[in-house]
Structure 1
Amino acid sequence: MITAAPPTNQTSDIALPNIILTGGSSALSIVGALFIFCSYSFIPPEKNFTRKLLMYLTVADFVTAFGNMVGMVRYVTLYGTGPRVQNCSGHVKTEEEWLCKTQSILTTASNMSSFLWTLVIAVHLWASVVLQSDKTKSRLARFIYHVLCWAVPGAVVASIFGSLGEDYCFGTGVWCGIRSDLPHHEVEMLMYIADIAWQLFSYIASCFLLVFIIFYLRMKRLNIGEVRPFLRGEDRNYLYIWFVLYSLKLWGIIRFFLTTYMPADKLNTRHMKTFLKVLLYLQSYGASGQAFWNCVVFCLLDRTVRIGFKNKLFGCKAETRPLLHEDSDKLFCCNPCIQTYPDDQYNVSRDSDR
Structure 2
Amino acid sequence: MAEGNGTEVFVYEQVVILISCALSFFGSLLIILTYIIWADLRTTPRKLLVFLSVADLLSAISYSVGVWKVFHEDSWDCIVQGAFSTFANTSSFFWTVAIAIYLYIFIVRSSQRGADSLVLYFHLVSWGVPLGITVAALCLHKIGYDASEVSVGWCWVSIKAPDHVLWMLLTGKIWEVLAYVTLPVLYLLIKQHIHRAHAALSEYRPILASNPTSNSLTTMADRKLTLIPIIFIFLRSWSTLRFILLLADSPVRQHPVLVTLHGIGNTFQGAANCVMFVLCTQPVRARLADVLCCRGQAKARGADSQRSGSAGNPSHADDTAAHRWLDED
Q: Distance in 1 between matches of 2:63 and 2:131?
A: 18
Aligned to 1:254: 241
The answer on 1:311 being equivalent to 2:311 is no
In structure 2, the partner of 1:342 is 306
Distance of 1:180 and 1:188 partners within structure 2: 9
Does the C-alpha gap of structure 1 residues 163 and 150 become closer, same or farther in structure 2, counting only changes over 3 Å? same
> 1:233-292 CA distances to partner (integer Å, 9 max, x unpaired)?
7665355322221121110101101111x2x4xx24xxx367x33211101111111111
Partner of 1:298: 277
Deviation at 1:44, TM superposition (A): 4.0
Query: Which of 151, 154, 157 is residue 178 of structure 1 equivalent to?
Result: 157
Assess, with a 3 A threshold, how the Cα gap between structure 1 residues 122 and 239 changes in structure 2: closer, same or farther. Answer: farther
Per-residue Cα deviation, 1:143-192 (whole angstroms, up to 9, x for no partner): 11110000111001111111101122323201111112222xx0111011
Cα deviation code 1:204-224 (max 9, x no counterpart): 11111002211222233269x
- Alpha carbons 2:145, 2:157 under 8 Å: kept: yes
Distance 1:68 1:29 in 2: 11
- 2:23 is aligned with 1:28: yes
How many residues align? The count is 295
User: Aligned partner of 2:108: which letter?
Assistant: V
Worse-superposed segment, 163-172 or 55-64:
163-172
User: Which of 138, 146, 163 matches 1:167?
Assistant: 146
CA shift in 2, pair 1:191/1:47, >3 Å: same
Structure 1: tracts of 5 or more residues without a match = 1-5, 79-90, 227-231, 317-331
Greater relative contact order, per chain length (Cα 8 Å cut-off, separation 6+) = 1
1:284 paired to 2:284: no
What is aligned with 1:218? 195
* C-alpha deviation, 1:309, in angstroms: 1.3
Please say if residues 213 and 239 of structure 1, whose CA atoms lie closer than 8 Å, have aligned partners that are also in contact.
no
Q: Which residue of 2 aligns with 1:65?
A: 60
Q: Does 1:130 find its partner at 2:132?
A: no
Distance change (3 Å), C-alpha of 1:129 and 1:301? same
1:143–1:279 distance in 2 versus 1, CA, 3 Å: same
Q: How much does 1:18 deviate?
A: 2.1
The aligned counterpart of 1:146 is 123
Identify the match of residue 90 of structure 2 among 108, 112, 127: 112
What CA distance in whole angstroms lies between the structure 2 residues aligned with 1:273 and 1:69?
Answer: 21
Structure 1 residues 304 and 346: CA distance shift in structure 2, 3 A: farther
Partner of 1:19 in structure 2? 14
Identity, in percent, stands at 23
TM superposition score normalised by structure 1: 0.75
Match of residue 241, structure 1, among 218, 223, 228: 228
CA distance in 2, matches of 1:292, 1:101: 26
Corresponding residue number in structure 2 for 1:54 = 49
Partner of 2:169: 192
Gapped regions of structure 2 (runs ≥ 5):
201-207, 209-216, 312-319
2:179 to 191, 199, 202: 202
